[in-house]
Chains A and B, each alone.
Chain A
């Protein structure tokens, strides 16, 4: 069984400030981990993924995430928030590749001008 917990359903940061979105997972096997972004009235778009190897993963739009096995975490960060980052972000886990993803409940990111 697998599960994902995203701490904070709403996060607000000032433009130019650090973005930190938290994700903790539970998995009985080595996990595959993903972050997706959803803009209003659109489908989801992959930001980044962890499969194996390097634990610091870089994605699109300046985002990155670090896989920490000891903490069962995969937090998403961006050094400097931009207004265009306002969206909903979902963390997901899979036991095998991209099959049977389990999603977290999402974090809505608001950017304050």
Chain B
């Protein structure tokens, strides 16, 4: 198993550009989520999904869209990038959420918005 994969590893955008951060898992996990990590602020939940076709907002959803058309993939879209979205983004997945199954994190995407 490759686990949770994220692409790209690094990205530089200009203000106003759009892009999609890719996340895929090969563990047949039902639960997937996106976090952003900023210095001194820990990780904050952006969006999450409890299964294909079902998504919901987390703590900091503004400026981001998600969709979950398959179990494996959970892309994060930045509609119009802003400097405040400069951050490290992590995707995570897990199995039975009610059992608090282990969440597996991807290696992260470091995004800089100029």
- At the interface, yes or no: B79 with Cβ under 8 Å from chain A? no
Q: Does A67 contact B (CB under 8 A)?
A: no
A51 close to B99 (CB less than 8 A): yes
Task: Identify which of B35, B100, B103 contacts A51 (C-beta below 8 A).
Answer: B100
Determine whether the beta carbon of B98 is less than 8 Å from that of A97: yes
Which bracket fits the contact residues of B? 20 to 34
Which of A41, A43, A97 makes the CB contact (< 8 A) with B90? A43
Total number of A residues with any Cβ neighbor in B under 8 Å: 26
Which of A94, A104, A106 is most buried by chain B, counting CB atoms within 10 A of its CB? A106
B-side residues, CB < 8 A to A, are 4, 31, 33, 35, 40-45, 48, 50, 58-59, 90, 92, 94, 96-103, 105-108
13 residue pairs of the A-B complex, CB under 8 angstroms, read A42-B108, A43-B90, A43-B108, A44-B103, A49-B102, A90-B43, A96-B97, A96-B98, A98-B31, A98-B101, A102-B45, A103-B35, A105-B40
